Structure 1
Amino acid sequence: MAETKKARPLTVDQIQEDNITQLAGLHWSQEALKNGTTFKPQLVEDIYRTELVNTGFSTRRSMMLEFSQYLENYLWPNYDSEKCTYSHQLSIAAMVNEKFRERVPQWETFKRRPEKFADFFHQMLQACLHEGKPFREQSLLLLFLIHCFNSLEVDLIREQVQRLVSLPIWNNLLQGRREELFKGNPKYKKFFNLLKKNDAKLDEKKRAKVHFEREFLSKMLKKFDKVLSEIKETGKVSPDKVQYCERFIELLIDIEAQLPTRRFFNALLDHSHCVVKCQLSPLVKRKEGKLFSELLDMLNAYTEFEIDDTTGEALTIHDRLDIHYNRILKLQKMAFKHFPDLQNFAIANIASVDSKKSLIKYFEPHSSANLHKLLAYAHELPQPDTEENYIKDKQYLMEVLISKHAKRKSQLEQLNEMPLYPTEEIIWDENIVPTEFYSGDGCLALPKLNLQFLTLHDYLLKNFHLFRLESTYEIRQDIEDAISHMKPWQSEEGGCLFGGWARMAQPISEFNVVEVSKPLVGESHPSQVRADVTVSLSVRPEIKAEWEGLRKHDVAFLITLRPTVPMSHKYNHKEPFIPQVGLTYVRGCEIEGMLDAEGKVIEEGPEPKPDLPGDLRTFRVWLDPNQYQQDMLGTAEGKEDAYETFNVIMRRKPKENNFKAVLETLRDLMNTHFVVPDWLHDLILGYGEPDAAHYSKLHNQIENLNWNDTFLSMDHLRASFPNCPIEVTTDDVTKHIPPFRLSIKDKESDSNKRKEGEDEPKTQRHIIVDPYVISNRGPYPYCLPKKNSVPFTPTQTEAIYSGMQPGLTIIVGPPGTGKTDVAVQIISNIYHNYSDQRTLIVTHSNQALNQLFEKIMALDIDERHLLRLGHGEEALETEKDFSRYGRVNYVLAQRLELLEEVGRLQSSLSVIGDMSHTCETAGYFYLYQV
């Protein structure tokens, strides 16, 4: 990753005096365009060389060009596919990349001349395949392609990108492999043959363009293989070449992570064995290849992602096992038929031969020629009938064989074995936890939250990793702050002395692992690992009280420091933090409680805690079983036992320390079999129409609903449904007072003919109003029901109606537009329509929840039916019900469990948006009717 220092922002005077601003004023500013300035191709060449190439494609220079509207006013309006130069093309690509970096609209400029975009995109593809161009420019083109593949929602882009990843790219596969795929998907063979017939009808120029687009990704893979093979294990390597390799892997990940682009490309990528070649490449073994290796792990996970590429359905555990067993069975049949020396392998049971160790045992003795023949029979490699096709690299052949046939752990199994606490290796890894001043110049080994996801598991897994790394960034800051205040020095004996103190960290006097429980059935890691941590709290009383006040489920961190700076020296703040303080290990733990004088955990309760003598305090903590198992396996291999070295314990503020509970909830959710309703499933994954979950698109609408006190009068009701015929069940005008029950039916208008531009004939609502009288609750004034006093507008009334119906409703608006009033009225109406059911309200903050409850209390809702669950002193928490969340913000826990509950109960879901800061942050109220 390219590390960049924080650049000082430019002042207005500096911008005005900049050379680019001067050029813009003369050639492409609004004033210059009005004066009829002419296009100068040489100016584009000069700007490209001086401002982009000579500055190493500096972010600041690109930003200045984009700020001056170089693309909008000069580059694209004067683009001509026949006259456009290479510099002109790359200048356009650089400006698009800069727009993505600044997160401003990127493709609006091209929509002004959409007829030219196809030619421009084709020229960009040709430029990607150019040989001998600088790798910095090639990386720029790859980044442009990455942005294109991540913009499939734009019609202009999708039309061009789909040609690169459509069914005809299977023409690059071996014929035997293609026929295998066609057997599983007969309709594809029919389409493939039809496309061949259509190609024969094209003229020579169009046929050449079509074949180029279909072979583009295959040629790019071959070009990448060539570049990767040029990097040696030792010696100097160009950073630009390494960055090109990283960008290419990022491109492959983005193609694999979206079903429309993955469906046919995954077979091509598998056929190229790109992942195996990368794993065996010298770049992986070099220090410069760390980010490349992390990106490669992500690509490897997506190539084997548990999804049916044809249907898009998620694969179950049994589906995965069937695919694996069929592969092994096919290999055994080929071995039995063609290789007599492999008879023992052919007749063995699958469980005994599907591990990497077993495959090496059976196939390692064979020559590379036999291995090549075997893989050729499996249609993994071409037949070794020519010198060009024959592969002598036995290690490569073995890796191809193992990668296809060795049994792998599922993503869920890997997730269940993953430690929830970050370690020192992750916390200070700039590739996955970048610094505050990351400018976006390089790529990161992070999952991207695009508009589309492969499956619900993919959606949850990406959020799991991103939330984990976001928490890791905050933990890193807290550790650095606490350790800096403690000022660890190296003693004369080589130990650790502390020259300062920290409020949130204390030296450990003693640490002992007291319990390692046996694994549960079906698990390999210990079910529980407990340890005792003793610290000396010889600090101020208020700080001592904070440490003694650590509650059950609070998260702390155990740290090993081995400083290298002696007491006679000072710390150099310009040097890296880790080597100076000697931070060696970081392990997380969860507080079970403080021990009393008898060594028993002090239980939480209303009674006062016992007053313990002295300053020594011992805390019983739970360690992460997965992390403990990994550490013990490392110790068995000769590594140091980290649990004998801890000398600092650090705590964090409780309100900022709920990450472990959230991650645990997410992991539990992924381990739970749940089904999201059909009307919500595609919307979450980003497929189908955006309004498919709106109540008007569903077939289970509720016609008769109690609107309670929504309307202030009959006139208000009529005004809320303009142009709708309203019929009242009684002619007595004295009874035309709220509350009302409404029966709303949609009927087609008199003319069923569709007007031009309409997809469906218009429908008209017919409303039947049924006034009713609330039963008398008593003779006293306080017995009278409370009533709504807000005169809702027609738009707000439609929002209330939508929120009362099954389906998804999102309401967003600036402050003061009545979103909270609408949300409260929906809650009230749901309560009165379904008083025997529960409604879950989840807000983005306690303040929003306070506003809701204040208004809810003003309505006619029984206070006994309200329960407030939040984070903080005002929260009502019961350890019995919510102990598994610890001190997690219950709001977050319920937000993560929302999908599970919706699928389990198949109920209605309404989402009401609340924009707390206009155009800045949007939070959401989740109204969930159980």
Structure 2
Amino acid sequence: MPVRRPRPSKSVEDERAPKKVALEPNAVFDKSDKHGAIDLHDLYKRCVLESDKIRRLKNIQRHEEQGALEDIIWPFLKQNFDSKDYFHACHLLVLFVSHHFAEGAYANESFFFESVSHSNDDLAAIEKFLSTILYKTEQSDFDLQTQIVHFLDVALCRSGNRDDELFQGILLHVSGIHLWHWMPDRQRELELKKSAGLRRKFAGSTKGDNKIWIVNNLRTILNLLEGNSKFGALVKFKADETIDLPEDSVDIPPGVWLFLHRSLELLIDLLSMASSRFFLVAYLNSIDFSVRCRLAVGNEFAVPENLRLVQYLLTKINSLLAFPIQDSNHRSLSKIDVLSMHHARATTLQKMAHRHYPQELQQVIYAGVGLLCGQGSINVSYLERFFVGFSDKNLAHLLYRMRLIPESDESQSRETMLQILSYYLSIPPYPTDQLKLYPLYPTEEVLWDLSIIPASSSQLRPTQVLALPKLNAQYLSFQDYLIRNFELVRLESAYDIRSDLVDAIRRVRPVLRQSSLEEDETITLKTEFNGWSRMALELVEPMNIIEVRPPKLGETTSAQVTAEFTVDLERCGASIRGEWEELGEFDNLFLVTLDASKMNGAQAPLMKDYHLQHGAHKMWDTDKEKRVPDEEDGSFPKRFGVVVIRGCMVMQVRDEHGTILSDPGVSIPDKQKGSTKKIFRVAMDTCQYSSDSKLGGASDLYKSFNLVVRRHGRENNFKSILETIRGLTEGAGSISRVLPKWLQSILLGAGDPKSASYNSDNMKSYALHTVGVNKPTDYLDFGDTFLDQKHLRASFPEQKIKLDGNELTGDGDSIDGRPRSNFKIRFSQDLENGSEKQLVEAVSLPFPKDISGNPVPFTPAQVEAVRSGLSPGLTLVVGPPGTGKTDVAVQIIASLYHSFPTQRTVIITHSNAALNDIFTKVMARGDIDERYLVRLGAGERDLDTNSDHDFTKIGRVAYSIQRRGKLLEKVQCLSESLGISGKAQRGADGSSSYTCESADYFRKLHIERKKLDFESNARKAGLSSDGDDVTEIFPFTSYFQTKGVTLTQAREHFGAIDGIFSELAEYRPFEMLRSQRQRSDYLINKQARVVAMTCTHAALARSNLIKLGFEYDNIVMEESGQMLEIETFIPMLLQKGSSDESVSGRSRLKRVSRASET
């Protein structure tokens, strides 16, 4: 992928800041150290008019890196509105910004987007620049128009902030109420009838003399697609034919293709943002954009790459136009809402038919609305039967009366009018229903379609437009957010799978050989393998489909498709055989059909030829004979005879004797241990099998597999992650009950991130009205965050500090000579003497014995991060490596543990190494009881702590059982010391005779009574001072083996005994839960207070945690900058939300802390 260039340091930014000097037209800029003596005219000549393309690109790159934009172009644009070279400066700005981002940089790294302020001068310069570049350029100059479109796309999508002046300025030219002035009158009237506010807003807008830019851009797009330009039609074909033509058969220059791609990309981004979508959707529907594009490019995907990319982009536009959302208020529409809306449209058609054509359209009038809507249909054949014998003239009048066409134009073809009516009536497939039909395993068609799975940065040209969903600053809904992430994860996993398959196929080296001579003396050719791969094996026998279960009620795909195939491990070495034998249930495999007779024997294309063919402008100074890597070569299937690729999941593995090897704990007889044949029973992808069956020949296709490929386990969990995202999409409506309100708008890009800060008015109001959240005026338990009073003073340098009611002056006292203390702190306003300083009220608490505690002297910024992490809201800890982010995260975890004993905290990291680091530091502190710590997933074996037990579920259960035994032994000794039981009551092995249940009875009957007797006797004897000797009346002298006991010591001993019984009460369920799984589930769901896992394991384990009823209140993410966006989203959804009938109706999640390097 494109490499991100490092941002300049602050000193460099200052050096490159625009100079505030008066500039004359064509003034000379003396920048000899950077640009030389060069003026704007020379810059334009070098970067635009230079005829040599490579030299021109080098000039652009050099001047862009040296800061020509900020030193020359932008100052000129701000101060020379009337210059004859003003247009040239506008052209250069667009050119430099476009080049900046074509090279792979981010929007916030551009000087232009960082430096533009809200000053009147900058706003005036922006408006003048936009009006010049958008309306005073030739529409036929496709290179310049492409750069303009790219500039607009970058500017709009860099933030999507509605309050941003640049965003608002551009939005006026691409969307907004002004756009409706160019809609057909009758369609506009229909839209304005929906809202009085819209009518007032439209009445206050002006049409202007010229069409706004987006109208002209859309007209150019349609002219190119429909063949109304000088280039003619894109390609001549029938509507439903497969477009299988060579790339050069479409006579359109590469620059025009790039303009089409960039313009459609901008349209997708505009429709993907709620702030720009509303007016644009109405306008596109009024000009029948979707219908006209479909008629122009057809329904079948083309073979030429440029045309195929156009079709992919148009498909995304159609999906966005039909996305289930109420654009006026951004409310998501349910499937029932969508059905009702289209049924209402069908009813409108029936009413119009009954009013104007009661005799001619009786079939329409009396048809069911479901038949008229034709759910998900893109073919008009279902409508044609309703309009048989109905004239084209009457059909045009009917559509005119329904406001579907601007005028009763009889020149439109019948097919076009029926397409318009079909688009209006037909119910689009609901996004979640579409997702259910997506195969989770990639096929050969997807794997080598470079339009949707692009090549790496070495092959990808800088100007390439990708048909990939973008994770922009704004999303339409959580459903939209999840669908985009699902598609990206699916394609990312397919990219990795392609590399693994290519490596395995290349290593096995398929060849074509004569296998046998038939009776009729015909020669049979067969594909064999000359090489070998440790990740691939040849199938011994053709695969058999064992069972195809019928679809479940309401579904269209088979419930399950089961198949079997056999491999032989005889030729494998011991280590490789062991790897294959480790395959078990839920592992994913790939079945491949290789046909050596279809290999063309060609080499991979030269990389320079590939880039020249696709219009790239990379300069190849070396390695001119370097070829495209096989992993990136779209012709690889033809070169190696790849015919079919399908994925499957292992259900069962058995040997040739029928012994099921995948069952845990299975014992294999000695005589069968030498068996090398393994039979795999697998579950095929039901969606893919249904698609193959519809095309016919599915049985033969699945029998043709001759190679099975496995992948490493750590890379092979993509299917479970995709299933998790798909499951979230189906329940997207419940996400609003799982996530707190203050976080939802931020995730969707509609809210201000500052509103989720603990000190914002929004979060203060939330804290006041939410149970289990510390109020703004409450004390925060910072615990051992501060090493001493001196550290406390240094952590709040600008605040007034009161410690235990006394003002802390100076630098505070050092810890030397004084016991260390824990601190609780409350923050308030210092009202004395009218001061506006913040008052820090601290209370010192005894420091616990026998623990090391926090050893880090936190800086004021780190203390502020701990304070934010303890408060409700969103906490972001950002800093380069070595700045103590992990120490801050550990301190937040420990403070939450002590401050909120009834709450659970979830720790999420990107890697097991980071999880190990956190656990090591948590255990080194010694103040968190390890029985409350549990770790899910792998990697715990690398944990280096002083604990005798691992922190996995099994290890925690074992620790609990062992700890229970030790405590019951103490209860037994206590009972024996009181003479209640003797050694004869012990078990045969000397174990305690008590259980947790009987120990509780023992406490109630004997211990509590003796404690009450002790207190009564102490009062009678007048023993009330802490130092009074109470040895004679202390009931547990024998157990503690003490000679003298004071009143204080006696009560400490009572506390120790109470601790034994209270801890035993936590282990009591383990006596009733017999299976290991039940005990593990109880430990996670009830006992653990700190649960840690990686983001990958969170995605894999979500469904199981939801079934358990897992709940948590706080989440701390480490290494969040290394995670995918969806990997940070799923961990926040590991619990069910409150039901609609809940009294509070609030999410349980209260605090989200994220630590990252960026």
Please state which band the TM-score falls in when normalised by the shorter chain.
0.7 to 0.9
2:387 is matched with: 363
What is the CA-CA distance between 1:681 and the residue it aligns to? 0.5
Matched, 1:187 2:197: yes
Question: Aligned partners of 2:362 and 2:268: how far apart in 1?
Answer: 39
1:688 is matched with: 751
- C-alpha RMSD over aligned residues: 3.7
2:936 is matched with: 869
Q: Within 5 A, what are the aligned runs for 1:842-853?
A: 842-853=908-919
2:303 equivalent among 287, 309, 312: 287
Aligned partner letter, 1:466: L
What secondary structure sits across from 2:754 in the alignment?
coil
Question: Aligned partners of 1:100 and 1:392: how far apart in 2?
Answer: 43
Aligned partner letter, 1:515: E
1:780 is matched with: none
2:502 is matched with: 480
Matched, 1:771 2:771: no
Contact 1:745 1:765 in 2 (8 A): yes
Contact 1:724 1:765 in 2 (8 A): yes
Contact 1:111 1:156 in 2 (8 A): no
Residues paired across the two proteins, number:
855
Question: Aligned partners of 1:821 and 1:452: how far apart in 2?
Answer: 33
Matched, 1:172 2:182: yes
2:257 is matched with: 242
Contact 2:558 2:686 in 1 (8 A): yes
Matched, 1:55 2:53: yes
What secondary structure sits across from 2:278 in the alignment?
helix
What is the CA-CA distance between 1:373 and the residue it aligns to? 1.7
Alpha-carbon deviations, 1:561-594, whole Å to 9, x = none? Answer: 112378xx96634483211211011111112231
2:1041 is matched with: none
Distance 1:153 1:595, change over 3 A: same
Distance 1:32 1:833, change over 3 A: closer
Matched, 1:533 2:548: no
What is the CA-CA distance between 1:60 and the residue it aligns to? 5.3
Matched, 1:469 2:478: no
What is the CA-CA distance between 1:905 and the residue it aligns to? 9.2
Contact 1:452 1:686 in 2 (8 A): yes
What secondary structure sits across from 1:674 in the alignment?
helix
Question: Aligned partners of 1:267 and 1:597: how far apart in 2?
Answer: 65
Between 285-294 and 740-749, report the one with greater CA deviation: 740-749
Q: Within 5 A, what are the aligned runs for 1:517-556?
A: 517-537=549-569, 538-556=571-589
Distance 1:614 1:57, change over 3 A: farther
Aligned partner letter, 2:567: V
What is the CA-CA distance between 1:362 and the residue it aligns to? 1.0
Alpha-carbon deviations, 1:879-899, whole Å to 9, x = none? Answer: 96999xxxx985324269999
Aligned partner letter, 1:143: H
What is the CA-CA distance between 1:752 and the residue it aligns to? 9.2
Matched, 1:227 2:224: yes
1:712 equivalent among 787, 806, 811: 787
Aligned partner letter, 1:830: L
Contact 2:592 2:645 in 1 (8 A): yes
Identity %: 30
What is the CA-CA distance between 1:715 and the residue it aligns to? 4.1
Question: Aligned partners of 1:476 and 1:461: how far apart in 2?
Answer: 22
Query: What are the ranges of 5 or more consecutive residues in structure 2 without an aligned counterpart?
Result: 3-26, 237-248, 515-523, 607-634, 768-773, 808-812, 942-950, 955-1075, 1082-1091, 1133-1148, 1152-1158
2:974 is matched with: none
1:298 is matched with: 316
2:330 is matched with: 312
Contact 2:261 2:465 in 1 (8 A): yes
Distance 1:74 1:304, change over 3 A: same
Question: Aligned partners of 2:557 and 2:322: how far apart in 1?
Answer: 25
1:625 equivalent among 686, 710, 714: 686
1:148 is matched with: 155
Contact 1:529 1:623 in 2 (8 A): yes
Q: Within 5 A, what are the aligned runs for 1:692-771?
A: 692-697=755-760, 698=763, 699-701=765-767, 702=774, 703-722=778-797, 723-728=799-804, 740=822, 742=824, 744-747=826-829, 764-769=838-843, 771=845
Matched, 1:382 2:406: yes
What is the CA-CA distance between 1:178 and the residue it aligns to? 2.3
Q: Within 5 A, what are the aligned runs for 1:337-736?
A: 337-340=355-358, 341-355=360-374, 356=377, 358-363=382-387, 365-384=389-408, 389-436=409-456, 437-492=459-514, 493-510=524-541, 511-537=543-569, 538-564=571-597, 572-574=603-605, 576-599=635-658, 601-606=660-665, 611-635=672-696, 641-672=700-731, 673-675=734-736, 676-697=739-760, 698=763, 699-701=765-767, 702=774, 703-722=778-797, 723-728=799-804
What secondary structure sits across from 1:851 in the alignment?
helix
Alpha-carbon deviations, 1:782-809, whole Å to 9, x = none? Answer: x834422222222222211211121110
1:891 equivalent among 1088, 1091, 1095: 1095
What is the CA-CA distance between 1:274 and the residue it aligns to? 1.1
What is the CA-CA distance between 1:29 and the residue it aligns to? 7.1
Between 410-419 and 714-723, report the one with greater CA deviation: 714-723
1:111 is matched with: 116
What is the CA-CA distance between 1:773 and the residue it aligns to? 7.3
What is the CA-CA distance between 1:923 and the residue it aligns to? 9.6
1:203 is matched with: none
Alpha-carbon deviations, 1:233-253, whole Å to 9, x = none? Answer: 345421333333222211211
1:759 is matched with: none
Question: Aligned partners of 1:924 and 1:335: how far apart in 2?
Answer: 50
Alpha-carbon deviations, 1:836-880, whole Å to 9, x = none? Answer: 332211101111101100011123111121112234584947896
Contact 1:683 1:690 in 2 (8 A): yes
Between 248-257 and 157-166, report the one with greater CA deviation: 157-166
Alpha-carbon deviations, 1:368-403, whole Å to 9, x = none? Answer: 32222222112121122xxxx544211111111111
What is the CA-CA distance between 1:614 and the residue it aligns to? 3.5
Question: Aligned partners of 2:129 and 2:735: how far apart in 1?
Answer: 46
Alpha-carbon deviations, 1:715-758, whole Å to 9, x = none? Answer: 43344334134252699x999966546352434757999xxxxx
Question: Aligned partners of 1:889 and 1:552: how far apart in 2?
Answer: 22
Contact 2:187 2:406 in 1 (8 A): no
Alpha-carbon deviations, 1:160-219, whole Å to 9, x = none? Answer: 212121222222223332233233222111222233xxx5xxxxxxx84xx53x633223
Question: Aligned partners of 2:319 and 2:902: how far apart in 1?
Answer: 46
Matched, 1:258 2:273: yes
What secondary structure sits across from 2:332 in the alignment?
coil
1:273 is matched with: 288
Question: Aligned partners of 2:342 and 2:1101: how far apart in 1?
Answer: 32
Question: Aligned partners of 1:27 and 1:495: how far apart in 2?
Answer: 75
Distance 1:750 1:379, change over 3 A: farther
Query: What are the ranges of 5 or more consecutive residues in structure 1 without an aligned counterpart?
Result: 5-25, 200-206, 754-761, 775-782
1:789 is matched with: 855
Contact 1:913 1:924 in 2 (8 A): no
Contact 2:601 2:639 in 1 (8 A): no
What is the CA-CA distance between 1:47 and the residue it aligns to? 4.0
Aligned partner letter, 2:387: F
Contact 1:843 1:925 in 2 (8 A): no
Contact 1:812 1:912 in 2 (8 A): no
Question: Aligned partners of 2:265 and 2:204: how far apart in 1?
Answer: 34
2:351 is matched with: 333
Contact 1:101 1:440 in 2 (8 A): yes
Question: Aligned partners of 1:47 and 1:469: how far apart in 2?
Answer: 37
What secondary structure sits across from 1:430 in the alignment?
coil
Aligned partner letter, 2:565: V
Computing the radius of gyration from Cα coordinates, the structure with the larger value is 2
Q: TM-score, normalised by structure 2?
A: 0.68
What is the CA-CA distance between 1:136 and the residue it aligns to? 3.4
Q: TM-score, normalised by structure 1?
A: 0.84
Question: Aligned partners of 2:662 and 2:577: how far apart in 1?
Answer: 19
What is the CA-CA distance between 1:557 and the residue it aligns to? 0.5
